[in-house]
Amino acid sequence: MIRSMTGFGTADGVVGSARISVELRTVNHRFFNPSLKLPSALSRWESEVREALRQRIARGHVTVSARVERATAAGSAIDEARFADYAAQLKTLREMHALGGDVDVATVLRLPEVVRAGIEDEVPDDGAAALVAIVNEAATALTAMREREGVRLATVIRERLALVSVAVERISARAPQRIVAQRDRLLENVAKLANGVALDEQRMAQEVAILADRLDVGEEIDRFRTHIAAFEETLRDGAGEAVGKRLGFLLQEMLREANTAGSKANDAEIQRDVIAIKEELERIREQVENIE
């Protein structure tokens, strides 16, 4: 089962006497790219959280947000030393710049880290395992959503790939007709130019063979079928690995074969199918960019 790189998951749990809520969001990215937003009480375990996510997520930009709620009813605490320091600095600035107004208590209390919730005291030093367990639970919910989205992506991609396969078979059926038509046109033009003069049959056979080789797209069609089969197999059996990069590579190879077939065949009908194939490959690429 393939996975989308877009997902969301949450989980709640307890670390020490504090209740922790973890939220994970992911969007597409070429590599595993975590962005952690942990409160100060949990920031000491950032490396453990990052490693837990690395074990669960292969690719994608991952945003981790955690919120800490007090499990007890204890009130907030004022950092008196920080309060005094802020007050002294504000008074000095007021006098230095001849500013009006008073330095009141409310102003100082609104400054950073003057009022502390005391949560750090409720989170034990050995809380890493408990926090990682909550993160893993959120990652499980995230993975379930990414897998559901992956199923929808795979359905859309298979529908597009079926259209590509049909167009490839039309090119395969048209290619021999194109060679015969070009051979007959060559012989007709040479006969007109010769105006009754005897022609070297062996030389004509060589020219026809050269023309047929130049117009032949059989190898391109065979490789295209191989790429389609590999693409379908990857969609079907790609569980447990980051398949997005492999699918992207196969798309590039299919596009290369389509361009070569179109330039070699030099035929309006084949060119129409080549254009249709390239349009579908672009639509598939847009979906594949969101696959893990």
**Over residues 262-272, mean pLDDT:** 82
**Are residue 99 and residue 177 in the same domain, yes or no?**
no
276 inside domain: yes
The pLDDT-based confidence of 156 (bands split at 50, 70, 90) is very high
pLDDT at 46: 94
pLDDT at residue 131 greater than cutoff 90: yes
**Are residue 162 and residue 211 in the same domain, yes or no?**
yes
Range of the domain at 95: 77-116
Q: Are 115 and 80 in contact (CB under 8 A)?
A: no
What's the mean pLDDT when you consider all of the chain? 84
The total number of residues written for the chain in this structure? 292
How far the first Cα of the chain sits from its last, in Å, is 11
pLDDT at residue 15 greater than cutoff 80: yes
CA angle 17, 18, 20 (to 5 degrees): 140
**Are residue 108 and residue 217 in the same domain, yes or no?**
no
71 inside domain: no
> How far is 22 from 9, CA to CA, in rounded Å?
8
For residues 265 and 168, the model is more confident at 168
Count the domains in the chain.
2
**Are residue 173 and residue 284 in the same domain, yes or no?**
yes
pLDDT at 187: 55
pLDDT at residue 279 greater than cutoff 90: yes
Residue at a domain's end among 116, 133, 165:
116
> How far is 135 from 131, CA to CA, in rounded Å?
6
State pLDDT tens for residues 77-108: 677 888 888 888 888 888 888 777 777 888 88
**Are residue 213 and residue 91 in the same domain, yes or no?**
no
pLDDT at 73: 47
For residues 283 and 83, the model is more confident at 283
The pLDDT-based confidence of 112 (bands split at 50, 70, 90) is confident
**Are residue 273 and residue 169 in the same domain, yes or no?**
yes
User: Model-level pTM?
Assistant: 0.70
For residues 123 and 40, the model is more confident at 40
Q: Are 79 and 86 in contact (CB under 8 A)?
A: no
* Closest alpha carbon to 219 in 261, 266, 252: 261
pLDDT at residue 159 greater than cutoff 50: yes
Both tokens of 34, joined, read: 């975590």
**Are residue 213 and residue 262 in the same domain, yes or no?**
yes
**Over residues 158-172, mean pLDDT:** 95
Q: Collect all residues with Cβ–Cβ distance below 8 Å to 115 and sequence separation of at least 6.
A: 76, 77, 78, 79, 109
> How far is 173 from 176, CA to CA, in rounded Å?
7
**Are residue 83 and residue 174 in the same domain, yes or no?**
no
19 inside domain: no
**Over residues 213-242, mean pLDDT:** 83
Beta bridge partners of 7: 26
**Are residue 94 and residue 153 in the same domain, yes or no?**
no
Q: Collect all residues with Cβ–Cβ distance below 8 Å to 218 and sequence separation of at least 6.
A: 175
Q: Are 130 and 15 in contact (CB under 8 A)?
A: yes
pLDDT at residue 74 greater than cutoff 70: no
**Are residue 86 and residue 198 in the same domain, yes or no?**
no
38 inside domain: no
For residues 120 and 79, the model is more confident at 79
**Over residues 193-214, mean pLDDT:** 60
**Are residue 166 and residue 95 in the same domain, yes or no?**
no
57 inside domain: no
DSSP 116: E
